[in-house]
Amino acid sequence: MWTFLARRLMQSVVVVIGVTLISFISLQIGGDPTYLFVSESASTEEIELVRARLGFDRPLHVQYLSYVWNVLHGDFGVSLSYGQPAMQIVMEAMPATIELTIVSLVFAIGLSIPLGIYAALRRGKPADGGIMTLAMLGQSIPNFWMGIMMIMFFGLYWRWFPISGHVPFLEPLFDGDFATAFSNLPQSLYYMIMPAIAIGTYTLARNARLVRSSMLEVLQQDYVRTARSKGISERRVIVNHALRNAWLPVVTMIGLEFGFVLGGVVVVETVFSYPGIGRLAFNAINQRDIPVVQASVILIAMIFIFLNLIVDLIYARLDPRVKY
Amino acid sequence: MTETTTDAPNAARAQSSGALSHRRREFRRAVQSMVASRWALLGMLILVVVTLVAIFGPWLSPFDPNRQNLIMRLLPPGSPGPGDQTYWLGSDQLGRDVLSRLLYGARVSLLVGFAAIAVGGTLGVIAGLVSGYFGGWVDDVFMRLGDIQLAFPFILLAIMFLVVLGPGLVNMILVLGIGQWVTYARIVRAQTLALREKEYVEAARATGDRTPSILFRTILPNIMAPLTVIASFNVASVILAEAALSFLGLGVPPDVPTWGSMLSESRDHLLSNKWWMAVFPGLAIVFTVLAFNIIGDWLRDFLDPRLKENH
């Protein structure tokens, strides 16, 4: 187990180095990166000053090493529009994004598993056809358009849900103010329902199909047939034999879905004016505030790598066939 | 001797006509299977319509998609326009015709979808063939590069590069294309690993075929089926990504109408209930993506009937 852990950690370190390399290349690819860190009206002297201050006049490999050093210390430079350290601004927006990601995933995975299983058990029946048709449609709807439609219908026309805003839960929780955190929770969820559905629908649709396939495959296995031939009740066959084996691919997919949901958050937060990293990054993109864009993207990538590591470890623990 | 010289062309002709009739049979089988699966037929129908719209958009458009007419701004669908013209799908905040912009938008979506797949597919196929055939450090390098790329949520990678490179059609195609190579490389590598020990590959090697010829003429044609399936689903996800990036303002320049940028503009007019600006471009994306997804599903079942069991 420890060897596996060490090897998997090493792989993550290599990936983190790769992430810093890609983000460094993305800065250099358009030519002299100094221009990305100064306003359009900057004078030649100012540009020279910034170039020297940020070290863009040094050889590339030295620049890269110092870039990695800065990234590891959370130093992405000062935001061009806020005048504060970029990392600090991103960290302030982080709890709201984590809340939305978790709620979206719980919605998507929580529904996809029962729907997928139900469709598999009703294979070829109208319920199966209906669920799979909806799943196909769900995979074809852009999350941001889904958000816009929900705002139009459930927000503006029927007025069931708020169309923007956020009530913090994790922020007071991290500050140790549990009373505020938990009294905020119902409102916090209420504000997150629409964005979470918009983000989670694609994941829900894709995974309902995957769970159905996985379940159908398991239901055809010999051990399920043997269990049935022993006269065990159908309910026990499904819960004790089929489900226990069908959910392994589901664990893997949850890991992969984190990345997808985090990507969706960036776009959907903008639609709902939700004060997380996504909207911050969107505003930063429009203002060409490169330090904030870089800090947001790298932080999200790091979270993704970390979560994937956790999921892999859980998987290795669950599936005895995985060798340590 | 005379017999051999006359027989050789005959044999070649017979072989080529055999291949032709095999292709015809396969085509007929594909059409029959598509007609039998009504969904696939629907998908193909949508795809044909979108493609025709993309090609003939300029002739079909009632207005110049960029012509502004501030007197005619934010008109609902069916409103009369200048002269005897009609804004069938309404007009936007600058008085541009929504239908005309929608028709032109099909071009960008399809062009980006197919071009990005061509870029990503080509890179991925080369990387996968080389990785699978040679193995060793080449394989390690390509596969670790793939791991690193997959560690980034794809849309973030695209955002990071497009912010620096600036918006533009070519940049968009390159970024979305490069984002896709890993998918192809992994599949091609796995298939190549399985095929490289097969007799016909051995035979090609023994007869002195050069490596590029073995890779591209012997192995590649035999792994086209899974690639075609993946490409179909991939076009769908690239179109969604293009729409999302255009929505964020990172797509093509503002004078080129795209479905994503139309949706982005519609956001400012939601409160005043200008629903047509948001509904029509969104539906265009949904139907196009749905068509590619349905075709992908059908192709998977058609090319590998064993998979149909679980789908």
Which 3 state secondary structure label does DSSP give A43? coil
pLDDT for residue A308: 77
pLDDT digits (tens, 9 = 90+) for A33-50: 888 777 778 888 888 888
pLDDT band at A234 (very low <50, low <70, confident <90, very high): confident
pLDDT for residue A297: 81
pLDDT for residue A137: 94
Q: How far apart are CA B311 and CA B133, in angstroms?
A: 32
AA identity, residue A25: I
pLDDT for residue B147: 79
pLDDT for residue A20: 81
C-alpha count within 13 angstroms, C-beta hemisphere, residue A157: 11
Q: Is the pLDDT of residue A244 over 80?
A: no
CB contact under 8 A, B164 and A29: yes
pLDDT digits (tens, 9 = 90+) for A153-173: 999 999 999 999 999 999 899
Q: How far apart are CA A211 and CA A120, in angstroms?
A: 8
The residues, ordered by sequence, that sit 6+ positions from A112 with a Cβ below 8 Å of its Cβ are: A203, A204, A205, A206, A207, A208, A210, A211
Taking Cα atoms as reference points, which of A212, A205, A187 lies closest to residue A143?
A: A205
Bridge partners for B87 per DSSP: B79
Percent with pLDDT over 70 in chain A:
98
Mean of per-residue pLDDT scores for chain A: 86
**Shortest Cα distance from A188 to chain B (angstroms)?**
23
Q: What is the mean pLDDT of residues A263-276?
A: 89
Q: At what angle do helices A290-318 and A248-271 cross, to 10 degrees?
A: 160
Q: Touching check for B249 and chain A: CB below 8 Å? A: yes
Backbone angles phi, psi at B278, to 5 degrees: -100, -35
Between the ranges A250-264, A274-288, A303-317, B231-245, where is the mean pLDDT highest? B231-245
**Shortest Cα distance from A236 to chain B (angstroms)?**
22
pLDDT for residue A324: 46
CB contact under 8 A, B159 and A267: no
pLDDT for residue A202: 93
| pLDDT: which is higher, B152 or A279 | A279
**Helix runs in B166-247, H state only:** 169-195, 199-206, 211-213, 224-247
Tokens 């490389």 correspond to B185
Contact list in A for residue B274 (CB cut-off 8 A) is none
| pLDDT: which is higher, A218 or B5 | A218
pLDDT for residue B3: 45
Nearest CA in chain B to A17: B148
CB contact under 8 A, A297 and B159: yes
Q: How far apart are CA A51 and CA A32, in angstroms?
A: 9
pLDDT digits (tens, 9 = 90+) for A11-20: 788 877 888 8
Least confident of A28-32, A291-295, B164-168, B254-258: A28-32
Taking Cα atoms as reference points, which of A242, A191, A187 lies closest to residue A212?
A: A242
pLDDT for residue A22: 81
| pLDDT: which is higher, B189 or A258 | B189
pLDDT band at A185 (very low <50, low <70, confident <90, very high): very high
Q: Which of A15, A145, A220 minimises the CB distance to B282?
A: A145
CB contact under 8 A, B163 and A290: yes
| pLDDT: which is higher, B47 or A225 | B47
Q: Which of A22, A271, A297 minimises the CB distance to B148?
A: A22
**Shortest Cα distance from B184 to chain A (angstroms)?**
18
Q: Is the pLDDT of residue A59 over 90?
A: no
CB contact under 8 A, B156 and A149: no
DSSP designation for B73: T
Q: Can you give the pTM of this predicted structure?
A: 0.87
Q: How far apart are CA A268 and CA A128, in angstroms?
A: 30
CB contact under 8 A, A15 and B156: no
Q: Cα–Cα–Cα angle for A148, B239, B76, nearest 5°?
A: 40
Q: Which of B161, B263, B289 minimises the CB distance to A140?
A: B289
Q: How far apart are CA A68 and CA A60, in angstroms?
A: 12
pLDDT for residue B9: 62
Compute the count of residue pairs across chains A and B with CB atoms less than 8 Å apart.
149
Asked whether this complex has an ipTM greater than 0.95, the answer is no
Q: What tokens appear for B102 in the block? A: 């929608």
Between the ranges A139-143, A227-231, A240-244, B151-155, where is the mean pLDDT highest? A139-143
pLDDT tens for each residue of chain B, 311 residues long: 444 445 656 666 666 666 677 778 888 888 888 888 888 999 999 999 999 999 998 899 999 999 898 998 999 999 998 888 899 999 999 999 999 999 999 999 999 999 999 999 999 999 999 999 998 899 988 988 887 888 777 887 888 888 888 888 999 999 999 989 999 999 999 999 988 888 999 899 899 889 999 999 999 998 888 899 899 999 999 999 999 999 988 888 878 899 999 999 998 898 888 999 999 999 999 999 999 999 998 998 888 755 554 55
